[in-house]
Structure 1
Amino acid sequence: MLLRFRVANVRSLRDEQELSFVAPGESERTAAREVTLSDGKQLAVHTVLGVFGANASGKSNVVAALMGMRAAVLRSYADWTSYDGIPRDVFALDAKSEDETALYEADIVLADGVRWTYGFELGSRHVEAEWLYAYPKGRRQVWFERDAQQGKEFDFPGDRLQDRALLARTTRPDALLLTRAANDGHKQLTPVFDWFKNNLWDVTPETERTQREAYTAARLLESEESRHRVEELLRVADLGVSRVEVERTSGGRPVVRLIHSGGGVETALDWAAESWGTRSWFALIGPLLLALDTGAVLLVDELDASLHSRFAAEVVRLFQAPWVNTKGAQLVFTAHDPSLLRMPGGGRLLEPGQLWLTEKDERGATELASFADWEPADEEDLMTSYLAGAFGAVPKVSEGQVGRRLLRVDEAARMETEEA
């Protein structure tokens, strides 16, 4: 599971920001999942985090930063040689940012209950720092530390890590040691690498939908059980779909037809005739089931972009429910719709520690903060308080302001025309 993620100087995340799944207090333990660590201690960890904020406040950049860390871990050894320097996406509104490192760090728990902290800092041409710590008995073990500014770049305290000299000698200055080790199947370090390989699956409604549709279609052909699960998720979405027909073409690609029922008549629509909402939900089903089946971390940018808020809430509930989410899968989503902060019958869908806000400061840099930082009262309606601006992170637009601005521009243009 993912416990924490830290990032700095990546896109609009200029200063160090932290996103945490760890429940911030005793009051939130009932909404969290109890994780047993290797030292026997229990840690309350949330399975869902939602990131809210105004347009262009940096919500999507939180997801992009998580994906950027995954990409670096997976590709630094093989791909970065083709670049003129290390590919980075630093804060663009400050010229000093290009000369500073981009920071990534993640706290994770592997299947054996051992907590690991892995991170690195990327310069424009070199990996400036890299570190890996383990906590098998609750106390930190340093597996390796890297500092490109030191005469001895790599430090391996103790004898716990095998092939130390080989790793230090063969890791390029512009590649991560973790990636280098995993590419050679290093038995001790590969499990940490594999966590990044098998987690942080991202879904953005506007991109790669065709590929995700194909993946969901492939799930239909896996087994009868898989087919029934996909069909049930389509039916429960109240899209008018009663069942699915799927066949594999000679080229190997599945062709899907959704059977719609109405007035006792079944109709199969061409795929291109299906609505945007139907196709978006179909494309989400495959990655959603993958995360639940493997216990992965799923990242969904703009969950409410093409789903009704009530059904977006059902996606959240899937990850919250331990009887459905048996393997501890986690969901990070961004959204605009404040109705996700409240259940239709009243009460909270998510606790304050599960809700995060993005807001830009005067420099255009994103600040990330939890609702829990404001210590809302137990009975406080989070949606009402959020819309009232109690937590910040809402657009600074008064009622009718957009129309008045447009009218002002039109009047100025008319006057210029008359004067000419």
Structure 2
Amino acid sequence: MLLRFRVANVRSFRDEQELVLVAPDGAEPAWTREVQLAAGENLNVYPVIGVFGANASGKSNLLTALFEMRQAVLRSYADWASRSDVPREVFSLDPQAVGRTSFFELDFVHDGVRYAYGFELGTERVEGEWLHAYPRGHRQIWFDRAVGRIKEFEFPGGRLKDRSQLVRLTRPDALFLSVAGASNHPQLGPIFEWFRRNLLWVSPDKNLHVREAFTRDELQGPKRERIQELLRVADLGIRGVEVINATEPGKEEVRLWHGGAGGDAYPVKWEDESFGTRSWFALLGPMLIALDEGRALLVDELDASLHPRFAAEIIRLFQDPDVNKRGSQLIFTSHDVTILGGQAEMRLLDPGQVWLVEKDKAGASELFPLADAEPRAGEDLALSYLAGRFGAVPALAEGQIGRWLRALRATEGAA
């Protein structure tokens, strides 16, 4: 499970920002999951985090940064050798940002052990990288890499096997963990595999066809019955689903059957389905694989093309311990304030599960939990958020855009 994510000088995040998924002391058990660590320590962790904010505040950039960290681990050794620079997106509103490193660090639990892994990327090389483990509750430094000192790589305690060979294989522009994963290293390979399996990314406008194909493939396996049922109960008028085999593997076609007059069902071509139906279908495959295998799912704009009740049901699935038995996590962004709920008994999320993003005067995104505002137990979170009590809303008065347009039109008419 994810515990913390820190990032700096990546996209709209100029200064270091931290997303925390560990619940504070005193958090309601209904909102959290207990994670047992190998050292005998227990942590209460949120299974769901919602990120809210105005348009262009940086919500999507937070999920993108998490996914880009994953991609760097998986691809730096194999793919970056053909490049002349290290692929990164620095804070673009400060000319000096190019000369600073981009920072990523993630705390997570794998097989009962807590790990902290991070790295810093420069323009042409990896400037720093580290992995800390806590198998007995105390920090063990498995490796530490820093450019500029006499020995770039240090291995305190000598815990890693075959480290000299890995160092020889590691290019300046490749992550040490990426090399270890490609080499199937017995100790670091499982950490690499954790990144491969987790941080599944769902974006409404970037990978719809890929997710549709993934769900289509899952329809031909053991998840078929659950996918069909989730399509039927979604009140989309769908009575059935079939996969039409093509002559080439991977070219199969999905066809949904919709209810018509007299209770009959009729097939509809896939390209004629609504974007909302296709979005729901495309989400089912990644969502079920996350729930079945205890993976972390990142969903940008959860409410995009989905009715608020759909979004609410997805949140409930990850919150429900009888459905989410493997410790899966959902981190999503949204504009839909109905997800915040009203008073305490109507809330889908605890205030500690709600994070807000807003930009400062320099255009840099700042991330903070709604819980910092100490909302009252009976406070309507949705109304208070829209009223601006928590921040992270557009600085736009009601009717302001119309007034601007009328003033411009009057100016143009006078000219």
Alignment partner of 1:50 is 2:47 = no
Q: What amino acid is the match of 2:237? A: G
Identical residues among aligned pairs (%): 56
Query: Counterparts of 2:213 and 2:146 in 1: how far apart (Å)?
Result: 44
**Corresponding letter in the other structure for 1:156:** F
Instruction: Give a deviation string over 1:324-358, Cα, whole Å, max 9, x none.
Output: 11111111110001001016995210001110000
Unaligned runs of at least 5 residues, structure 2: none
Counterpart for residue 128 of structure 1: 127
Stretch moving more, 326-335 or 166-175: 166-175
Counterpart of 2:228 in structure 1 is 231
The answer to whether structure 1 residue 5 and structure 2 residue 2 are counterparts is no
Separation in structure 1 between the aligned mates of residue 227 and residue 58 of structure 2, nearest angstrom: 33
What amino acid is the match of 2:49?
L
Within 2, Cα distance between the matches of 1:78 and 1:41? Answer: 38
Write the distance in 2 (CA, Å) between the matches of 1:100 and 1:160: 32
CA contact 1:23–1:29 (8 Å) conserved in 2: no
| CA-CA distance at 1:368 after TM superposition | 0.3
Q: Is the 8 A contact 2:243 2:255 kept in 1?
A: yes
RMSD of aligned Cα (Å): 1.4
Note if contact 2:343-2:378 (Cα within 8 Å) is conserved in structure 1: no
Residues 144-200 of structure 1 show CA distances to partners (whole Å, capped at 9, x for unaligned) of 111101111111111211112222233111111111111111100011111111111
How do 1:326-365 residues align onto structure 2 when only pairs under 5 Å count?
326-342=325-341, 347-365=346-364
Q: Which residues of 2 match residues 174-323 of structure 1 at below 5 A?
A: 174-223=173-222, 226-252=223-249, 253-263=251-261, 264-323=263-322
Q: Match for 2:375: what amino acid? A: P
Task: State how far apart, in whole Å, the 2-side matches of 1:364 and 1:371 are.
Answer: 21
- Name the SS of the counterpart of 2:156 in structure 1: coil
SS of structure 2 residue aligned to 1:49:
strand
Letter in 1 for 2:230: L
How far 1:213 sits from its partner (Å)? 1.1
**1-side partners of 2:221 and 2:181: how far apart?**
30
Amino acid at match of 1:178: L
Residues 255-275 of structure 1, C-alpha deviations (whole Å, 9 max, x = no match): 111111144121111112211
Q: Distance in 1 between matches of 2:390 and 2:141?
A: 39
Task: Tell me the residue number matched to 2:108.
Answer: 108
Contact 2:343–2:377 (CA under 8 A) maintained in structure 1? no
CA 1:107–1:345: 2 relative to 1, 3 Å: closer
Cα deviation per residue 1:89-141 (whole Å; 9 max; x = unaligned)? 00000011000000000001002x00000000011112111110000111100
Higher mean C-alpha deviation, range 80-89 or range 115-124 = 80-89
Q: Residue type of the partner of 1:148?
A: V
Residue 123 and residue 345 in structure 1: after superposition, are their counterparts in 2 closer, same or farther (change >3 A)?
closer
**Partner of 1:76 in structure 2?**
76
Question: CA separation in 1, counterparts of 2:406 and 2:158?
Answer: 72
Tell me if structure 2 keeps the 8 A contact 1:107–1:115.
yes
Aligned to 1:152: 151
Shift >6 Å, 4+ stretches: none
Q: Answer with 377-386 or 58-67: which moved more.
A: 377-386
Report the 3-state secondary structure (helix = DSSP H, G, I; strand = E; otherwise coil) of the residue aligned with 1:217: helix
One-letter code aligned to 1:209: L
Q: Tell me, yes or no, if the aligned pair for 1:347 and 1:381 is still in contact at 8 Å.
A: no
Q: What 5-or-longer segments of structure 1 have no aligned partner?
A: none
Query: What whole-Å deviation, never above 9, does each CA across 1:70-94 have from its counterpart, x for those lacking one?
Result: 0110111111111111111000000
Partners of 2:243 and 2:75 in 1: CA distance: 35
